[in-house]
Copies of this chain bind each other. A is one copy, B any other.
Amino acid sequence: MIIDRLFDIIAEKGHVCVGLDTDISYIPKSFMKKFENIGDAIFEFNKAIIDETIDHVACYKPQIAYYEAYGLEGLRAYSNTLKYIREKGAISIGDIKRGDIAKTAEMYAKAHFAGEFEADFITLSPYMGLDSIEPYLPYIENSEKGVFVLIRTSNKGSKDIQYIETKGGRKVFNVVGETINNLGKNYIGKCGYSSIGGVIGCTHVDEGIEIRNSLDSTFFLIPGYGAQGGKAEDVALYLKDGNGGVVNSSRGIMLAYKGKLDGEENFAKYAKEEAIRMKNEILTAIGNLKK
């Protein structure tokens, strides 16, 4: 089960997931100039970040929208980035949030679990229901793959659907979370978590403990740290015994070089420093929680 690999790597290297939402405006001009086309520049920027951070982070999460925006060139960089992460023995999460059913979902599974865009995990959107998750199950069972399904996000608009109150006095996201947690029971690894994980934004502290307890075997992908306002002490509430979740930071790491005098030349070094700082901050918050 892929989830055991992720669990073990977190125990070893901490909870940081590096979000590779690589907009070309993030790439230092002096670095950009070395390459003839956008696809190479994006990939080489990612590669430099990966090379510097790999000993201090759990995984990498390229957000495919940023690559689609640059068309086929961009998607070549997406594909190359995933291949490079695999070559380095690291874990990748393709942040694609696809959500479709039947043969269409089978085609997405083929593309993102076996094809040119192969990742270890992908993110999925659940609005169409459980049959939008089912086509991925054979890969989870037989090919060391995993998914993170959107459960409760931390953006303003999360109120619009996820927080609708149900007849039973709960929220839509509670129902979705429970459904995903139950489905995941069939794919639990040695670590006690399922290869069917959930995306849970980290900014609603009050609900953190409740969600962590109710979704007992669901591993969390936690966005919203740093640039989006989430703090380490909040994040710690969504973890269990110091594991059970990875915490994503994209711009916080990729743009750590901004404002530094020697930032442009040393962007990857500053990315590493920020990854280490974030890793330690989360470990400290977990430690404080135990006290």
Contacts and interface: CB of A to CB of B under 8 A. Distances in A.
A107 interface: yes
Interface centre among A72, A74, A102, A169 (most CB of B within 10 A): A72
A291 interface: no
A117 B68 CA distance: 8
A107 B21 CA distance: 10
A129 interface: yes
Contact of A107 (B68, B104, B128, B160): B68
Given A68-B108, A75-B75, A79-B72, A172 B164 contact: yes
A185 interface: no
B155 A128 contact: yes
Contacts of A139: none
A111 B162 contact: no
A18 B168 CA distance: 41
B116 A71 contact: yes
Interface string A5-21: 00000000000000001
A167 interface: yes
Contact of A63 (B21, B104, B159): B104
Contact of A65 (B63, B100, B128): B100
B129 A160 contact: yes
A212 interface: no
A112 interface: yes
Contact of A100 (B70, B97, B169): B97
Contacts of A104: 21, 63, 65-66
Given A66-B107, A97-B98, A159 B72 contact: no
A162 B23 CA distance: 34
Given A68-B117, A97-B125, 12 more contacts: A65-B107, A65-B111, A68-B107, A69-B115, A71-B117, A99-B99, A125-B127, A126-B161, A127-B127, A127-B161, A164-B172, A166-B167
18 contacts: A63-B100, A63-B104, A63-B107, A65-B100, A65-B104, A65-B105, A65-B108, A69-B108, A69-B111, A99-B99, A125-B125, A125-B127, A126-B127, A128-B155, A128-B162, A130-B157, A130-B160, A161-B176
